[in-house]
């Protein structure tokens, strides 16, 4: 029987988009059929960077060009930015599978499910880019999501708190505004894709909430206090609102956790 961890490593290291998508689909099917084991349990080797194609060019977040919807190129750049997030999200989900060992089987099943859905989202958006005469890699992008993945590689509780529940959850906050802008621009086709993605992402963040609270309970920690402490440690002055409270509540946030996020919010200039 093949190992899920070896499948995860292959997906993470693949530099070819089509191969990464195929391997993700193949692993998802094999897991559902009971063909992947949770052996070996050897310590994973560090993966400093996942395999990527040569493009897009990665720049600092502040150097990513602003995306204005008034032009076809502006629309394509906006869709490209979301496509890049979904591509990175494949890596984030696979790294959760690969990085952390000796956990309940459901943990691995949950994050493999997320990887499969992120790959599906990426394909939907890439097809839309193609329809607009562009492809993934045509615009610069940044690497912020993976940076936090590296910083949290030492502890699954910290990973669950800060990657799905902070960085990825930003999609729950900003996607409704993007949908509104696109609808006003008559981009109903792209709106339909983002509505699918939004619903799935609530589920992904909810999985992060579940496992964060699982690890807190295991360690006898108060999850709300722990979340606030980790926010203060890693994100002081770096979180901006507004927050989509309804979506975040569906994704497992408590009122006290939402208050903790608000307390770190950067005031609008």
Sign of the dihedral defined by the CA atoms of residues 165, 171, 174, 179, in that order: negative
For residue 235, is pLDDT > 80? yes
The pair phi, psi for residue 151, each rounded to 5°, is: -70, -25
Q: How much is the average pLDDT of 91-105? A: 96
DSSP letter assigned to residue 137 = T
- Segment holding 135, helix H or strand E: none
Among 80, 75, 91, 69, smallest CA distance to 140 is for: 80
Query: Would you tell me how many other CB atoms lie within 10 Å of the CB of residue 131?
Result: 12
The predicted pLDDT at position 265 comes to 65
Kindly indicate the confidence band of residue 71, based on its pLDDT and cuts at 50, 70 and 90.
confident
pTM: 0.94
The predicted pLDDT at position 224 comes to 97
pLDDT greater at residue 141 or residue 115? 115
d(CA 269, CA 266): 9
- DSSP reduced 3-state for 260: helix
What are the residue ranges spanned by the domains of the chain?
Answer: 2-263
pLDDT in tens, 132-171: 999 999 999 888 788 889 999 999 999 999 999 999 999 9
The predicted pLDDT at position 237 comes to 67
pLDDT in tens, 9-68: 999 999 999 999 999 999 999 999 999 999 876 788 878 899 999 999 888 776 777 767
Lowest mean pLDDT among 40-44, 72-76, 174-178: 40-44
The predicted pLDDT at position 269 comes to 33
For residue 268, is pLDDT > 60? no
Half-sphere CA count of 9, side-chain side, radius 13 A: 14
Kindly indicate the confidence band of residue 88, based on its pLDDT and cuts at 50, 70 and 90.
very high
Which pair of tokens denotes residue 126? 């890439």
Q: Which residues pair with 36 in a beta bridge?
A: 2
For residue 100, is pLDDT > 70? yes
The predicted pLDDT at position 1 comes to 60
Cα–chain center distance at 36: 24
Q: How much is the average pLDDT of 187-191? A: 95
pLDDT greater at residue 239 or residue 7? 7
The predicted pLDDT at position 41 comes to 67
Mention every residue, 6+ apart, whose C-beta is less than 8 A from residue 32. none
């Amino acid at each position: 029987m093949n190992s899920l961890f070896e499948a995860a490593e292959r997906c993470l290291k693949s530099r070819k988009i089509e191969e990464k998508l195929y391997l993700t689909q193949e692993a998802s099917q094999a897991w559902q059929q009971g063909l992947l084991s949770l052996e070996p349990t050897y310590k994973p080797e560090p993966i400093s960077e996942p395999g990527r194609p040569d493009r897009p060019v990665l720049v600092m977040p502040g150097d990513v060009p602003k995306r204005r919807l008034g032009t076809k190129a502006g629309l394509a750049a906006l869709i490209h930015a979301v496509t890049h997030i979904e591509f990175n999200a494949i890596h984030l989900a696979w790294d959760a599978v690969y990085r952390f060992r000796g956990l309940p089987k459901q943990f691995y099943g949950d994050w493999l499910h997320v990887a499969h859905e992120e790959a599906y989202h990426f394909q939907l958006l890439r097809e839309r880019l193609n329809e607009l005469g562009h492809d993934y890699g045509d615009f610069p992008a940044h690497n912020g999501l993976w940076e936090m993945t590296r910083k949290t590689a030492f502890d699954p509780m910290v990973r669950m708190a800060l990657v799905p529940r902070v960085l990825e959850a930003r999609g729950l906050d900003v996607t409704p505004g993007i949908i509104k802008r696109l609808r006003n621009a008559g981009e109903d086709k792209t709106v339909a894709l983002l509505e699918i993605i939004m619903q799935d992402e609530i589920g992904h963040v909810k999985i992060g909430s579940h496992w964060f609270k699982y690890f807190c309970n295991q360690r006898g920690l108060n999850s709300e206090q722990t979340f606030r402490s980790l926010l203060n440690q890693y994100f002081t002055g770096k979180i901006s609102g507004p927050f989509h409270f309804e979506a975040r509540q569906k994704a497992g946030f408590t009122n006290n956790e939402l208050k903790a996020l608000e307390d770190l919010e950067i005031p609008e200039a």
